[in-house]
Amino acid sequence: MRVRRDKNLEKILDVDPLVISKFPFKLKQDTIIELGSGKGTMISALALKNPSQNYLCVERDRTIASKAIEKFNDLNLKNINLIVSDIQHLTEIIENKVNTIWLTFSDPWPKNRHEHRRLTYKTFLDLYKKFLSPQGVIKLKTDNDKFFHYSLESMSEFGMKILYQTNDLHNSIKNLDNEMTDYEKKWSSLGKSINYLEASF
C-alpha cells in the first residue's frame, strides 16, 4: 500500500543523529542490517532486546523512514542507525562486511517482467555477496509462498547454501528469537503461515 508523503515529517531525516548522511559509512562487522525495513517495527524490537548489538535499517521511502526514526526515538534506542537509499547503491555508501542481512516481507513483484526487481534476483544476490562476510547469513521472511519458492531457487542457482528453511516460522524453533514485522502481525493474525529461510554464500 502506498504511503502518502509527509514532507513535514520527513524533515526529521535531515537533523536526527540516527540518520546516516555522511558516506562512505564504515560498518562494524557485528552490525545486523535490515533491507527494506519499513517503519522499523521488527528491528527496533531486536535493538531494544539486544542493547549491545548494532543495527542498521535501509529504507528508500522518506516518509516511512521518518516514521521509523520516530519509533527509534520513542524507544530511546542508541544502537540503531538508518540510511535512506535504494538498495542498489549500498556498496557505494557503506564499507566493511557484516554477518547478518535481513530481507523481511520484500515486494514479491509477481509479474515475470519485473523479476529483476525482486530482492532475491541474481543481481541483488551478487550485491549482498560484496558486503556479507564469508561466514555471514541472509535471513528472509515472507508471507508470499511463490516469492519464497522463487528465492530458494534463485539462491540455489546462484550457488548459495540453504542452511534452514520452513513454511511455518511461528511453529518452528526459530520462533524463539523471532520479532514480528507489521506485515507479519497482519498476515499471521489472518491465519497465514510465515515462510523463513537462512542462506549463506
Catalytic residues: 107
Residues annotated as binding site?
Answer: 34, 59, 86, 107, 111, 143, 181-184
Give residue 151's pLDDT. Answer: 99
Model confidence pTM above 0.85: yes
Q: Mean pLDDT of residues grouped by 10 in the chain (201 residues)?
A: 66 93 89 96 97 96 94 97 93 90 97 97 97 95 98 98 98 96 94 98 96
Burial 127-163 (b: 16+ CB within 10 A, else e): bbbebbeeebbbbbbbbbeebbebbbebbeebebeee
With CA atoms as reference, report the closest residue to 163 among 198, 190, 191: 198
Residues annotated as binding site for S-adenosyl-L-methionine?
Answer: 34, 59, 86, 107
Give residue 3's pLDDT. Answer: 60
Domains of the chain: 7-200 (3.40.50.150)
Give residue 2's pLDDT. Answer: 55
